[in-house]
Structure formats: structure tokens, C-alpha cells
Amino acid sequence: MCDLLNRIWSRPRGEWTRVLRKELPALAEKVTEELRSGFPAFAALLAETGAVAEARRAVEQAMLVALGYQESAERVRRPKDLVVTPLPTAPARREVFAALTGAKDVSDVALAEVARCAGWPVPAYVQAVALASPAEAPQLAAALGDALIGTVDGDTCLLVPDPGTQTRARLEAALRGRAAAVGHAVPAGDTASSLRWARALLALSPGRGGPDTRPAFVDDHLSALLLLQDESLATALSARWLSPLDDLTPRQSERLEVTLLAWLESGGAPEAARVLQVHPQTVRYRLRQIEKLFGPALRDPRTRFELEMALRSRRLMAHVRRYRSRAGRRARAVASTIRPLGMAREARVNGL
């Protein structure tokens, strides 16, 4: 722009307009190319619509306004041949979803522009929802306040804008009967975190829907997800603190584990007995066995904390293994009922 102005002002005043008209198209083209390389959203817009020439003319018109050679768009009608086509709504919404979930690196300025084209201004807070089935996703998105729809590694997901105090009730009502997991509410810049934990929770939850199925909320399972963040570390934690139980039979070990965890969680033998639905004297007898195995370390608060984490992680990993085993058996059962396409064709050819 400075070079252009220098070339104009170096000429006699009467030649300014002629020089401007000669130089401006080349400069507008250069500015347009800089915008395409610097703003992914702008490049996506032009790639989607093919409106490169229209964009170049729009830049040229904007420069004329800035230099005072033309009135602003609010005061003068655009030429009929000047059409700047915005990014269509559906592709723009996909761009916003990809940017918020970290699938695409987009600057804040570009994101705001694409969000404007999508008719979905970036909210202050977002809450992710992972669905086991894509069925009725558009209806759910509309019911949850114009949520964005997208797919991440095969999972259909929703991004709910500006979750408030009433969002949980709306989510429970809208998702009832469907297998789904709801992430925690986060600032828009941390959307990927909410989506990550929603998908992790969905992977640990039963995949079947039904009239009594309710969505699982990350807020209700924070400690479980934290313990299962790294199964290798969880296994090491269990091995470190629960090794005194290794020489027992599986039945004995299980009884002492559930008793110790109930005692740690409740704080006393009578309370643990109520949780386990056994006589308090039974709990006291088991606690004496536990004290012989673990010794005076049970009196240390840090040890009790570590023991509780180890017991909880072992229980959670057992649950995950059972769930994966059931899922594997269901998958094998479905696969066994599928007839190879070649056999079906051969049967039809032979008239069977």
C-alpha cells in the first residue's frame, strides 16, 4: 500500500486517479493472495465457492473506499456484478467443529469469521456429548440449543454451546433412552478436553440403548477416569500396595479387598458392615486379618489414601475387562451369523 501511495503522490495531482486505476488491480491481487495464505478460513471459503475473482474485486473496492475514491458500502449500492459469496453454512459448521476439537489449526480471527458464516458464534463455554449411535443427531442438536454435529474417529459428537444450570436436565431429557456420555463444561478453547473425556467415558459404558438408559456424565466419574488414565500406572499402583494379598486364594483376597475398601470409604466397622450387608463382627474379624497382613502402615493417612486408590483402580480395571470381554463376545456372535457374500451368490446361481 505504501509503494502504491508513493507512486501516486510522485505524479502531478491530475494523474493520481489514472495511476491509481492502473496500479490497484495488481495490489488487490497481491492482498488477496496474502489473505489466502495467512487465513485458512479465507482460503477454505474461496476453495469451497471458487469466488477468487469476486474476492479480488471486493478487496479492490475496499481499497477505493479506504483511499476516499469511493463511498462506503453503507452509502452506495454495490455494482450488480460484484458478488462475494460467504462460506456455506454446513461446511462452515464443520470447520468450526474441527477447529474447536483440535482437528484443524485455525487462528482466533479465522475461527471467528468461519463461525460468523456458520451462524454459530463461538460461545464462552462448551460441553461435548459423545453418542453411541448417530441416529437422530440433528434432532438432538436442535433440542440442545443448536449444538454442532461432528464425527471423531467414528464417534458422532455434539458440542453444546453455553451450558448453564439447566443444561443437565435438558441433556438427561433429550438423551434418555440413548447410550451417550456428556463431557464437563469447559471454555471454548478447551473443547477438545471435554470431548476426549466424553468419548473415554462412552467407551467404558454399555453401548446398548433402551427406555431406561440414561446418559453418563463425566462430572459423576471424575475420579474413575483419572485412575484409568493410564492402566499401566494403575496396575503398578495395585502391585505396589496390594502385594500382601498375593498369597491368598482368589476368594479370600476378594473378601478382604471389598472389606478394606468399604472400611476406608466409610470410616468404621459398623458402617462397612452396613455397606457389605454383613454382621459387624464379620467385618471386625476380616479387619484383624487385614491388619496382620498390612501391619501398622494402616494407621498412616498417606498409606490409607494410596490403598484406597489401588483398590478402586483394581475394581475399575476388572470392570473394564469384563465390559470388553462382553463386547468381544457380542461382536463374535454377530460375525458368526453373517454369511459370506460369495456363498450367497453361488447358492443363487445354482438355484438353491
What per-residue confidence (pLDDT) applies to 193? 93
User: Residues 6 or more apart from 115 whose CB is under 8 A from it?
Assistant: 92, 96, 121, 122
- C-beta separation of 158 from 141 below 8 A: yes
Question: Any idea how long the chain is?
Answer: 352
Grid coordinates representing 64 are 477505493
Per-residue pLDDT, 207: 58
Look at residues 293, 271, 300 and name the one whose alpha carbon lies nearest to residue 283. Answer: 271
Q: What is the pLDDT of residue 218?
A: 92
Domains and their CATH numbers in the chain: 2-66 (no CATH), 123-220 (3.30.70), 231-336 (1.10.10)
Q: What is the pLDDT of residue 282?
A: 92
Find the radius of gyration of the CA atoms of the chain: 32
Rounded CA-CA distance 139/245 in Å is: 52
pTM flag (> 0.85): no
Distance in angstroms (rounded) separating the CA atoms of residues 260 and 304? 10
Distance between CA atoms of residues 286 and 302, nearest Å = 22
Q: Where are the alpha helices (DSSP H) in the chain?
A: 2-9, 16-38, 40-49, 52-66, 89-100, 108-118, 137-143, 167-175, 191-204, 222-227, 231-241, 250-266, 269-276, 280-294, 301-336, 341-349
Tens-digit pLDDT string for the chain (352 aa): 556 556 555 655 455 555 566 667 777 788 888 887 877 766 776 666 556 776 777 777 777 666 655 544 444 344 444 333 445 567 888 889 999 998 777 788 888 888 888 888 888 999 999 998 887 888 888 888 788 999 998 889 999 988 876 678 888 888 888 889 999 999 998 999 999 999 989 888 755 666 778 899 999 988 888 888 888 888 888 888 899 998 899 899 999 999 999 998 887 889 989 989 999 999 999 999 999 999 888 888 888 898 988 998 888 888 777 766 665 554 444 344 444 434 333 333 333 2
pLDDT value, residue 9? 55
Secondary structure of residue 339 in the 3-state scheme: coil
What one-letter code names the amino acid at 67? L
